[in-house]
Every structure is written in C-alpha cells, then in structure tokens.
A and B are shown apart, each in its own frame.
Chain A
C-alpha cells in the first residue's frame, strides 16, 4: 500500500493550492494607490517626497517605479497603469503625448552632468579632457536621457578639445547602461574607472566627482505629466502640485536639482 505517500502528495497539492490563492490576493488597506513612474536619477528626491506627500495626504499610498525614461515610456505604452510620468528629457514624454497617452506635461527641474571616478581613481583622471586616458568608461545608452546628454556633452567638448575627442572617448566605452543609476553602480563596484552621470547622482564617499567644463556641460530638463488613463487623476494632480510646492522645490534643491517651472535658457 502507498497510502502515506498518497496522503503526502494530497497534502502537497493542498498546500500549493492555498499558495496559489494567496498569490492572487489583492492588496489590503483603504488607501488609494498613486503610481509614480520616474527617471532613475530622481530616486532619492522622489523617495523623500513620497514620505512628505503621504504625511500631507494620508489617504494616498504612493508607489514609485524608477527606471530609465525610455523603459518607463515603453511600460506606459504597454499599459503599465502609471498615474504620473517624470522624465529626464522631452523625447519620451512628447512621444507619449503624441500617442494620446499623456494628458499634458510641464517642466519641473533642471540638472547637469558630472564625471565620476572611484575614490581611488585608478586611471588618474583629473579633468574632463583626461577621459581619453580612461581604460574602462561607462555611459548611458543613446536612448536613455543621460546617455543622450552625455553624447551631446562630448560633441560640445570636441569643439575645444579637437574633433577626434568625441570618437577617442567613445572608443573607451566598455558598457552602456539603461539608466543613470546603473551607470553609477559600475563605478561604485569598481568595474569602471570613469563614468558620466548627473551631478545629483554623485554619492559623496562612494564616488568622486569631477565637474565638466561649463562650455561642455548640458542642461538636463526634467518634465512631469499625468498619464491619460490614470486610475487616480486626483492623486496625480496633488502630486504635480506637491512637486511644484515650496516643500517639493526645497527637496529638489537639497538633492542638487534646479527646481522651478521656467528653466533659464
């Protein structure tokens, strides 16, 4: 007889079925969810805003998703259920708005690029021009805003440092990442000896920053908009208001962003 084996098998099935039911369970609590999709460089600023926002609106449960703006745009196109989209450049917002997936957007913050190296600085990089000496450089892909801004900065620097500067530096690239924070992680892990990220991504102690020459630097423009089929449009309007409020601007400024609706040209 194999009754004990059979009983064990039946118990297994019962356990698995219970797990299946639990796996499909909904989220509890009566707070209304608000899904905010944001460029990865906004990670620290928006996490801080989440706490402050939920203190002001306790009935709202903010859920943050961070990724490269191009990844978030793809997810919204595929119906990811976002309420808010905050992008690090115009391209991806305009594409969504053109497809009728975004009901308006506005500028809310500015940023700049920075060159980062590991604290030990193994390649001995002291200036932007030294990038030609980097053995292992990591930048963003050409579709992620930080990667597009990086290429623009290299083009601008080439005007003073010579035409071949851009191609010489690009030939040192060993990896292209899909968002600014993954670029920074390569320097933190010590597998890159230089990388280009936003000024606001510089984590003191973990990476060492080298400013870009003013004529090469690029002014990154952050835009924010409400998704057309947002499940929580009231919450989205409140979030937009909060980002533009004195508290929101103060958080952005403290994290190194230039806060404000009208960017200086």
Chain B
C-alpha cells in the first residue's frame, strides 16, 4: 500500500466520496439472506434475463470492438480538424441521457422513424427485438471503448510502426502485429468499461427494445419488473446482478495490468 500523498488531511477529505460509492453496495449486500438470494435466483424472470444479458452484452462488445477499433485508430492517428470534431461527436451518447437515446433510436428505426419505413419495406422490424437490445447497448457503451482504444493508440511510438513498415509489413500487418499487441491493455480496459456499461443499460433498452421476458428483458429490466410483483425478489435480483458485476470487475481490472506487464517483460527481454 502506498501512503496517500498529502498526508492524512487528504485521506479525511477523500473518505466521504469513497463512502458514497461503497456504502449503498454494502447495504445491498447486507439486506438479503442467502435464502433470499436463492429465492431470487429461482424466480422465473431470473434465468432468461441473466442469459439474455450475457449474450446481448457479449454481442455488443463484439460489435463495439470490431466497428470501434478502426474509428479509434482514425481518431488517434489522423491529422487535421475532422478527427477532433468526430471525437466530440463520439461523446454524445455519454452526455445524452440513455432514455433520450432510446427515443432517438425509435425516431430512427421506429415505424414512423427516419429509416423505419425503408427497413419495413425490406421486411426488417428492429424495435422491441433482441437486436434492438444490442443496438441500444452498442450506442450507449461504444464511446468508452473508442476512447480507451484511441488513447492507447495515441501512446504508440511512431518509430516502432515505421520500423515495422521498413521491415516489409503492410499497413494492416503493422497495425495487427505491432500496434494492436502494444495497445492491447488500453483496448481491453476500454472494452471492459463498455461491457460494464452495456450490462447496466436500462433507459435506452426500455424505450427502444421494450421489456419482454426472454427476448428483450435484460437483468436491469427484470429488476424493474420484479419490483412490480415482489420487492423482495427485486432486491435479490439486484444483489445477484451486483455480484456478477463485482466478479466481472476484478478480472477486468487485473487483466490490462497483467497484459502490460507481459508486454514489458517481452520488450525488456530476460533480465
């Protein structure tokens, strides 16, 4: 453990914020007995919601990594004013409330939306479907990955990329074999943040995808729904989601550090 810089005064000033963040989680953990949690896990809403949350958030992270990596690279490496403007635009889903993003998605893909009628003519109906859940999660959580990956790409040493090119790598080869491995810790950290944000997505999903068990009712929506039948079940479900999130947090926090340690060891050679 490091001594907090600035001594005890800073620690005292820092404690209230730490308490604000941790006390509700501790209170939640203490509010249910193991029997309550077991009852929550046996609730008919629980398994479909957990399974739906798992597959939609994995799909969302896949979409975000595949489509977000080129954007992050461009933001980090391109010159001129347009990447700076684009970087501000990428922030939009962070500053706009999720419920507003849900309405915006309906205005885009709904029956009277911008693209809805065209898609309907092609036989595609997006709102209130599982793909709509993924779209809502992608829109609200992509900025976290794009920012993380762009920051990692920015830290890359230009000389390494130039050397890779002079050694005969194509631009794509230099990107995949030099840039991605070096930026991996930052990319993983960004993807982890996106995943956590997608797992907690509520507002945009409720508006754009609805609340249907098995196809659009993710864990946060199941908690909201359980509140309508039995508050005890809602608390138990909330506790299970909190536990799942904490279990996610530990390896996701540790992974980028482990990855960068591995990279350092390789770059420094055996010592």
Contact = CB atoms under 8 A, between A and B. Distances in A.
Contacts of B181: 2, 5-6, 9
A24 B130 contact: yes
Contacts of A40: 228
Interface in B160-187: 176-177, 180-181, 184
A1 B265 CA distance: 11
Given A6-B181, A17-B62, A80 B210 contact: yes
A2 B61 CA distance: 24
Contact of B131 (A24, A77, A80): A24
B58 A182 contact: no
Interface stretch (A62-70, A134-142, A148-156, A245-253): A62-70
Category for how many chain A residues contact B: 35 or more
B111 A79 contact: yes
B177 A6 contact: yes
23 contacts: A1-B266, A5-B259, A6-B180, A13-B66, A16-B65, A17-B62, A19-B55, A19-B61, A20-B58, A20-B59, A20-B63, A22-B55, A22-B59, A24-B131, A25-B55, A40-B228, A64-B213, A67-B211, A78-B106, A79-B110, A80-B127, A182-B227, A182-B228
Given A19-B59, A79-B110, 8 more contacts: A24-B130, A66-B225, A78-B127, A79-B116, A181-B228, A182-B227, A185-B231, A185-B234
A66 B210 CA distance: 11
Interface in A44-75: 44, 63-67, 75
Interface string A14-32: 0111011011110100000
Chain B: interface secondary structure? helix
Nearest to B188: A12
A20 to B, nearest CB: 4
Contacts of A77: 111
A29 B229 CA distance: 28
Contacts of A189: 231
Chain A: interface secondary structure? helix
Contact of A65 (B55, B180, B184, B211): B211
Nearest to A41: B228
B215 interface: yes
Interface string B184-211: 1000000000000000000000000011
Interface of B: 55-56, 58-59, 61-63, 65-66, 106, 110-111, 116, 125, 127-128, 130-131, 134, 176-177, 180-181, 184, 210-215, 225, 227-229, 231, 234, 259, 262-263, 266
B38 to A, nearest CB: 20
Contacts of A63: 212-214
A19 B177 contact: no
A235 to B, nearest CB: 16
B191 to A, nearest CB: 9
A16 B262 contact: no
Contacts of A78: 106, 110-111, 127-128
A49 to B, nearest CB: 15
Contacts of A25: 55
Contacts of B125: 79, 81
Q: Which 5 pairs, one residue from A and one from B, show the smallest C-beta to C-beta distance?
A: A23-B59, A19-B58, A181-B228, A16-B62, A2-B181
Contacts of B259: 5
Nearest to B111: A79
Contacts of A188: 231
A69 to B, nearest CB: 14
Given A5-B181, A79-B125, A81-B128, A185 B228 contact: yes
